[in-house]
Amino acid sequence: MAGQQPLAFRMRPEKIEEIVGQQDLVGKNKIIWRMVAAKRLSSMILYGPPGTGKTSIASAIAGSTNFAFRALNAATDSQKDLQAVAAEAKMSGTVVLLLDEIHRLNKVKQDFLLPHLESGSIILIGATTENPYLNVTPAIRSRTQIFQVHPLSTDDIKVAIDRALNDKEKGLGNYPVLMDDAAKEHLAQATNGDLRAALNSLELAVLSTAKDGDGNIPITLEVVEETSQKQALSADKDGDAHYDVISALQKSIRGSDVDAALHYTARLIAAGDLPILVRRLTVIAYEDIGLANPNAAFRAVTAIQTAEKLGLPEARIPLANAVIELALSPKSNSAYTAMDAALAQASRSKAQAIPAHLKDAHYSGASKLGHGNDYIYPHDFENDWVAQQYLPDAIKDDHYFKPKGNSPFEQQLKDVNKTLKDKQHRGLTGK
């Protein structure tokens, strides 16, 4: 093994072509690739979750351009450390400085850095998990380009795992590893897009697993469950159990069983499957609770966004709030079914002719076509309403929204809708 550094450190890319993921930034002809190819670097801020390649991009930029590379932490390293980097830049010409936790850069350090950024002697690559538009000072933001990095896909992490297993110089290529597909899939998924965590879990698995009778190191699903501390939902190779848990979660919330909802949520969290969980909870908030409790749906989305920002394990805290409220909230699928009914009608027949009085009338000659001529402006009437046909003639009597009134709010919508529909019918037919 090359030195005592962790595998994730040893496998850090030295050239931009070696970066795994973030191809929208570093892929051929993309913006960072172009900067490197032209050797026209500008300072930047990379923000996104841990383990997504911020440090890798910085070191690869330096390696691809042959500039000196230094890494500091804005919170813990001193101004003296920054002065040492500036002195090196003065001698060598340019230094690429990775400044981690840039959102914690104080004013003294900022004021010291600014002239060096202006002159280009220091190419600053700030790294942060916080939104720089909210947490980085305007003076730094104005002198940098801001790029968002995203959690790596499972395919990206599998590529990195294969590289590490085959690299005899920096990786684990000198170990007789046999890794089965289920183990690789779980490791790629359980680390939630965090490549650093995936590689370090892989290294622990290889170093702590005894050779079998054939002299190989068998890396199985059970092994990576231990080293990643994330249990797989199931070893079922077709993934049916995975989708069964997601289905059970939604049906438990829909059925208002809070304990079952928490149980299935916990299974998804234990598997590290935050992206699937937050997506499903967002759907549930609007599909199953919907108009019965719009505030619960809004609070759930806020909790979900907070969870995504925090990442696991802290994400479990806002998610618990969301799951409990969604499970115990009044339920209604009236908005969801109304939209599906409208879509079904739209797919059954060709687009119906829009009534002439509703057509666009802002251009010269519209009135000659009869467009907008008979439109009645509702704001000119009491309560800002007037009887008027809005649906096309062929479907003018269609009704898609059929609320059940499962909460005071939805009952209010139901009553208002019925009152307006009755008034419109009387106004248009005289009956």
What is 240-328's CATH number, 3.40.50.1820, 1.10.10.60, 3.40.190.170, 1.20.272.10?
Answer: 1.20.272.10
Exposure string of 76-88, with b = 16+ CB inside 10 Å and e = fewer, is ebeeeebeebbeb
The Cα 282–Cα 304 span in angstroms is 8
Number of C-beta neighbours around residue 137 at 10 A: 14
Give the whole-angstrom CA distance, residue 195 versus residue 159.
10
Cβ neighbours of residue 294 closer than 8 Å, sequence gap 6 or more: 409
Higher pLDDT residue, 291 or 131? 291
Q: Which residues contact 53 (CB under 8 A, 6 or more apart)?
A: 19, 20, 21, 22, 149, 152, 195
Residues 6+ apart with CB under 8 A from 346: none
Write down the mean pLDDT value for the chain.
Answer: 87
| Per-residue burial over 184-214, b = 16 or more CB atoms within 10 Å of its CB, e = otherwise | bbbbbbbbbbbbbbbbbbbbbbbeebeeeee
Mean pLDDT of 47-76: 85
Say if residues 264 and 249 touch (Cβ distance below 8 Å).
Answer: yes
From the number of C-beta atoms within 10 Å of its C-beta (0-12, 13-18, 19+), residue 234 rates as middle
Residue 242 has a pLDDT of 64
End-to-end CA distance of the chain: 88
3-class secondary structure, 270: helix
Q: Is 95 helix (H, G, I), strand (E, B) or coil?
A: strand
Q: What is the pLDDT of residues 137-195, one digit of tens each?
A: 888 888 899 998 888 888 999 999 999 999 999 999 999 999 999 899 888 887 777 88
Structure tokens belonging to residue 121: 């002697």
- Asked whether the predicted pLDDT for residue 237 surpasses 50, the reply is no
In whole angstroms, give the CA distance from residue 270 to residue 31: 37
Overall average pLDDT of the 228-257 stretch = 71
The predicted pLDDT at position 238 comes to 38
Going from the C-alpha of 416 to that of each of 97, 330, 412, 428, the distances in angstroms are 62, 20, 6, 18
Please check the confidence at residue 236 and state whether its pLDDT lies above 60: no
- Domain parsing of the chain, residue ranges: 22-148, 154-228, 240-328, 341-429
CATH topology of domain 341-429: post-AAA+ oligomerization domain-like (1.10.3710)
Asked whether the CA dihedral 318, 320, 326, 329 is positive or negative, the reply is negative
- pLDDT reported for residue 429: 84
pLDDT digits (tens, 9 = 90+) for 99-116: 988 988 888 888 899 999
Is domain 154-228 classified as CATH 1.10.8.60? yes
CB-based contacts of 376: which residues, under 8 Å, 6+ apart? 357, 386, 388
- DSSP for 209-257, written as a single string: S---TTS-EEE-HHHHHHHHT---S---TT-HHHHHHHHHHHHHHHTT-
Q: How confident is the model over 228-248, as a mean pLDDT?
A: 61
Strands, E assignment, 129-185: 145-148, 177-179
Please indicate whether residue 430 or residue 212 has the higher confidence score (pLDDT): 212
Please choose, from the candidates 400, 407, 404, 402, the residue with its C-alpha nearest in 3D space to the C-alpha of residue 294: 407
Helix (H, G, I), strand (E, B) or coil at 282: helix
Per-residue confidence (pLDDT) for residue 2, from 0 to 100: 43
Q: Which CATH number fits domain 22-148: 3.40.50.300, 3.90.550.10, 3.30.365.10, 3.40.50.720?
A: 3.40.50.300
Q: What is the pLDDT of residue 176?
A: 94
What is the biggest distance separating any 2 CA atoms in the chain, rounded to whole angstroms? Answer: 91
In sequence order, what DSSP letters do the residues of 340-393 get, joined into one string? HHHHHHHHHSPPPPPPGGGS---STTTGGGTTTTT---GGGSGGG------S-G
Distance CA 398, CA 420 (A): 14
The amino acid at residue 90 is K
Q: What is the pLDDT of residues 376-388, one digit of tens each?
A: 899 989 888 889 9
Structure confidence at residue 241 (pLDDT):
60
The span from the CA of 134 to the CA of 128, in Å, is 12
- % pLDDT > 70, the chain: 95
Report, as an integer, the average pLDDT of 410-430: 88
What pLDDT does residue 259 have?
A: 93
Q: What is the pLDDT of residue 3?
A: 47
* pLDDT of the residue at 262: 93
What confidence tens digit (pLDDT) does each residue in 18-37 have? 888 889 898 899 999 999 88
Average pLDDT over residues 400-420: 89
Residue 247 CB coordination number (10 Å): 12
